Amino acid sequence: MHIYLTEWLPIETMKNCQLRALTKLIILPFVLLIIASCGSNGSTDNATKESVTTTEGTSVVSDEQSSTTGVEQSTDPVAEETPTTNQISFQNDIMPIIESSCARCHTGIGPGTPHALFETVADVSANAFAVAAVVEAGIMPPWPASDLSVGFRHDWSLSQEDKDLVTEWTRSGGAVDIDPATKVIASEGVNHLVAYDQELFPDGSYDGEKGQTDEYRCFIYDPELTEKKYLTGYEFIPDQLQVVHHMVGYRVPNDLLSVAKQRNYSDGQGGWSCFGGTGLGGDQIGTLNQMITVWGPGGGAVQYEEGLGLLMEPGDFFVLQVHYHFDVEAPADNSTFRTKWSSDETTEPVELIQYFAPAEIPCSINENGPLCDRNASIRDRLDSYDGDGVQANMVLNLCGYTPEDFAHMTDGIASSTCDQSARLNGTIVSVLGHQHNIGTSFRMTLNPDTPEEKILLDIPKWDFEWQFAYYPTEQIEIKKNDVIRLDCTWDRSLRPSNLEPRYVVWADGSDDEMCFAIIMGNRTN
């Protein structure tokens, strides 16, 4: 996503993200082939006779082999040829891992776009080698945060013991000891609103043309509130996921509704072009036109803890800024926004506080071209984004830097850091980090270099495809005199080779960069 100094910067470019995903898909079959060839041991014929063999080369126990209870140890010959001290049971050892760390996405109802569906145990067995490959590679389950971070709820990551179990199960044949038709059910609820009060749609859909990249479109989503309410949960559901790359939602006061309606359909389609925010005026960081909701790749619903909510006054409405990247043809987008409300006056309000660090990535010593000049690159970006959507100089000023501070970073690797005041007295509800596609690491630290230091979020290997809010398990107090430090790094080699060399700056586009964080907090005074 991207975020602006004065608002939630766009969720940038999925083009590079898609390239990374494609790379994974290209490499994975070779990994699987190697694993499969190493684990076969020439036992294919026997396996065919004694078990049901799937197209992926793994085995499931046939109906004839199953006991009346549906539970029996695997007779897969590969497993017999690879004895272990303690026989691995799919039911007792592997199924709990699948249902706790995989099923939320791979049953097709969770966040992300899974390449394999695990509707039944047979599906898991059929993809056993793939499961082991992505687990060993650290690709799945997606949990970018490292153990240096504070503890988080709903941690999807696997322990080394669990990884070893999955690997050994695969090497022993990937057989199952329960009925292959057994349904796979997530042990934790997927990230969807179980119940909601409204299902909102935009006032008009939008249909961009293929080749139209980095289009930011604002839409009116009006809950038609007649009384003060608290937003206690929301879910953004992209209609055309292949071109919707992020969403930033703003609370806009009723006195700007007429302005928004004038902008709507101003070019013949629903919504209006809106680089740099809503384009409606007002205080983008304060109480007016305030950014309050976000969605990015891998994200799901947001539901606040009991007693917490985002305050909305009568007549307030949402403007959702959607970042489109039309690298493919797609039908008109009509994305959904579901909301959950409370009128309880005892609800404690939460708010989102934004923090920034520079994104300044000069051309490497091996690159050259007119856009390697920073000023030329900024002018080019402004021309592309209707004269807005470039926050590079604002962030530099905020953090007390000049472009010269980054001029030496010509080896293709760039980094930045920035300390800012916390701007909140209260407790931390969640934390979120954001970079684009050439980001390689992210860290957010509370009170760095002091005895009270806490690493709020450490992501040593940035992955644009998995950007979620993290909810600390402990209650973390924060005060206005506290310091928030952001650290980000980038690698220019991750830029697609077909892109013209340029000095990469903080800006809206898919091929630009950012270093951005949000702390959601409950203000106590």
**Mean of pLDDT over the chain:** 80
Strands of the sheet containing 244-252, edge to edge, are 272-273, 215-221, 317-324, 244-252, 290-295
CA distances for 138 relative to 10, 74, 165, angstroms: 27, 28, 15
Which of 136-145, 215-224, 264-273, 478-487 comes out lowest in average pLDDT?
136-145
- Which residue in the block uniquely carries the two structure tokens 């300044």? 360
Residues 6+ apart with CB under 8 A from 191: 104, 110, 111, 299, 300, 301
Q: What is the DSSP string of 470-493?
A: B-BSS--EE-TT-EEEEEEEEEGG
Domain with CATH 2.60.120 in the chain: 198-346, 353-523
Q: pLDDT grade, residue 465 (50/70/90)?
A: confident
Q: How far apart are the first and last CA of the chain?
A: 31
> How far, in Å, CA of 467 to CA of 299, rounded?
6
pLDDT for 153: 85
Scan for tokens 């961009």, then name that residue: 208
Cα of 331 vs its chain's centroid, Å: 24
Decide: 351 and 423 in contact? Cβ < 8 Å. Answer: no
pLDDT in tens, 243-258: 887 888 898 999 899 9
CA proximity to 519, closest of 455, 449, 444, 417: 444
**pLDDT tens per residue across span 273-305:** 888 778 887 544 433 347 777 787 666 788 888
Residues 486, 356: Cα–Cα separation, whole Å: 7
Give the residue among 19, 13, 20, 6 at the shortest CA–CA distance from 508: 13
- Residue 217 CA to residue 273 CA, distance in Å, equals 5
- Quickly state the pLDDT bin for 109 (edges 50, 70, 90): low
pLDDT category of residue 40 using cuts at 50, 70 and 90: very low
Label each residue of 182-248 as H, E or C.
Answer: CECCCCCCCCCCCCCCEEECCCCCECCCCCCCCEEEEEEECCCCCCCEEEEEEEEECCCCCCEEEEE
**pLDDT on residue 475:** 92
Tokens representing 370 are: 């007119």
CATH topology of domain 353-523: Jelly Rolls (2.60.120)
Which residues, including other chains, have CB under 8 Å from residue 270's CB and lie 6 or more apart? 202, 203, 204, 205, 206, 219, 264
Amino acid at 86: N
Domain formed by 198-346, architecture: Sandwich (2.60)
Calpha distance 224→140 (Å, rounded): 41
Within its chain, how far is the Cα of 156 from the centroid? 14
What's residue 1's pLDDT? 44
In this prediction the pTM is: 0.72
- Residues contacting 313, CB < 8 A, separation 6+: 225, 228, 253, 254
CA-CA distance, 22 to 292, in Å (whole number)? 33
d(CA 370, CA 6): 30
- pLDDT average, residue stretch 465-481: 89
> pLDDT: is 405 or 205 the higher one?
405
Of all helices (H) and strands (E), which one includes residue 36?
A: helix 14-40
Helix (H, G, I), strand (E, B) or coil at 504: strand
User: pLDDT band at 512, cuts 50/70/90?
Assistant: very high
Which amino acid, one-letter code, is at 186? A
| pLDDT tens-digit map of 169-209 | 988 889 999 999 999 887 765 566 778 999 999 988 999 88
- Strand, helix or coil for residue 447: coil
Q: How many residues does the chain have?
A: 525
In tens, the pLDDT along 1-29 reads 443 333 333 333 333 333 333 334 333 33
Amino acid at site 234: Y
pLDDT at 459 over 90: yes
